[in-house]
Chain A
Amino acid sequence: MSQATELPVTKGPLIYRQSIWTRVTHWVWAICLFFLLLTGLQIFNAHPALYIGNESGFEYENAILEIGAINSAAGPRGRTILFGNSFDTTGVLGMSGDVARPTFTAFPGAVTIPSYRDLATGRVVHFFFGWVFVGTMLIWFVASFINGHIRRDIVPKPGDLAGIPRDVAEHATLRFKHGRSYGPLQKLSYFTVFFILFPLIVATGLTMSPGMDTAWPWLLDIFGGRQTARTIHFTVMLLLVAFFIIHIIMVFAAGPINELRSMVSGWYRASPGTPKAEGDRP
């Protein structure tokens, strides 16, 4: 992408940035989250409503989200009720697919595994990847604690907080400094994902298990009941999807080849002017 006609660009050093632990866990997670998301939407479709509290209100109102279909004068329509506000979501939520023969599922078959209604299979695949996800998380935490990845790249330091305004300005103008460590916003994002969202989605998932609620009843107390835990599980899913979208956009914005190389081989081209260190390649 550099323009050859301009002054020669001094290259920064090639640094070994991502350890084998970071790279392998990254891709295993990517696969897990893909299946967990699509089977999770399948499971959600079995009862497409979210509630606050211990139970689901059938004779009283404690739902915050309901996705379904209704009959209107103009025929069936997809309808989503969020915090009491009703939205026509025909074509996306509640009713989707072929106009002549629509499917009446909350999330369309294009984003569920399997593509048809099959709660049993959704659960089998969800729990399989749930185990792989949690196992990978344990490996990542131990490896990243030992090899310094958490300390160096994930936990924000006081200096990082002070550097946030500048980092925001750099992101806004798409000028990225590719350094040896992560930037303040990167650290904050990854810290949020690893230390808040990942543990939260696992813990709320476990809270939905009647077996785990017996083993660890405090799960019900910290999340405010099984149905609230289910709602949090869903909300964290949305946040992880938002993270994924920003993550992919940033990879493209910051140089997809360099970013992808660092997550495959570990080697990353730092910005010109980055001080050289032992182990770097030219």
Chain B
Amino acid sequence: MSRLITRRNFLRSSALAGSGLVLAGCDQFDFLGDKSNPVRHVMEQANVLTYNVQRTLIGDQALAREYSASEIRQGMKPNGSVEPSTPEYMFLKMQNFEPYRLTVKGMVEREVSFSLAELRNMPARSQITRHDCVEGWSCIAKWTGTPLGPILDMAGVKPQARFCVYHCYDNIQRTLTGDILYYESSDLVDAYHPQTILSYGLNDQVLPVSNGAPIRLRIERALGYKQPKYLHTVELVDDLSPFGRGKGGYWPDNGYDWYGGI
């Protein structure tokens, strides 16, 4: 009986298979980077699915893992804005944040605002958590601050409010037509989560400028870009489209998913 596969045929076929593996560049899929592309729009729906599934799977009160003090092995890596250069921020920094106020406004019964001293005198929560950057790295640090939920209750969130928009001082991007200021947003589940704190302390020290002084919001069940630094205003809204490019945050406006839980 003849052998169907001779060594020569085998080698020839293998070479053919091997050459197929050498991809001739993948720029034919670069159209997916175009944010108005309809195929990309369909694919983005997977992020909506992820959000809905995670909201179902994760109990609204379920806590992100907290680590022991021995697991803080390094300083918190600063990323994104580390030295905001807007006049408002530079003035506040010069004044050691004495004139700083955190404001809660929008769909609330009464607009409220607090100085840094008032925030520090409120009931505090400390948590040693793992910060996961969208880039892929993680860093464990201790965050101390006052929970956002009771502050929202002081303002009285109106029933039609669906999101919190977090306005920040930092000019994350400087363009010819002016600065683009960082902002983020979350649903009310994350806003009222017990680990969602207005942090003013990092690793038992005053929160440094490079990590978001005077106030950085922690949303521990999401990636780093959902934890806005240099926060000054929390605005309750029912629609995210009026802000930035309408996607609910600086990075979401640049193509990242809004939920940020994965």
Contacts and interface: CB of A to CB of B under 8 A. Distances in A.
Q: Do A and B come from one complex?
A: yes
Interface of A: 1-3, 6-7, 9, 38, 43-44, 46-47, 49, 51, 54-60, 109-116, 118-121, 123-125, 127-128, 130-131, 174-176, 208-217, 220, 226-227, 230, 245, 248-249, 251-256, 272
Q: Lowest 6 CB-CB distances: which A-B pairs, in order?
A: A211-B261, A120-B255, A252-B13, A59-B74, A47-B136, A209-B262
A124 B43 contact: yes
Interface in B133-162: 133-140
B33 interface: yes
A164 B27 CA distance: 43
Contact of A46 (B1, B2, B33, B135): B135
Given A211-B262, A215-B62, A57 B14 contact: no
A109 B45 CA distance: 26
7 contacts: A55-B137, A114-B27, A114-B30, A210-B262, A230-B136, A248-B21, A252-B13
Contacts of A60: 73-74
B65 A214 contact: yes
B73 A59 contact: yes
A214 to B, nearest CB: 5
Contact of B134 (A46, A51, A131, A215): A46
A255 B5 contact: yes
B40 A124 contact: yes
Given A9-B1, A128-B43, A213 B74 contact: no
A255 B47 CA distance: 42
Interface residues of B, number: 68
A120 B262 contact: no
B57 A215 contact: yes
A220 B3 contact: no
B94 to A, nearest CB: 30
Interface string B1-38: 11111010110011011001101111101101100000
B50 interface: yes
B223 interface: yes
B58 A214 contact: yes
B17 A2 contact: no
B124 to A, nearest CB: 22
Contacts of A254: 5
- For A111, A115, A121, A227, the residue with the greatest tally of chain B CB atoms inside 10 Å of its CB is A121
Nearest to A244: B21
A69 B119 CA distance: 45
A46 B136 CA distance: 7
Contacts of A49: 137
B77 interface: yes
B64 A54 contact: no
B239 interface: no
B29 A110 contact: no
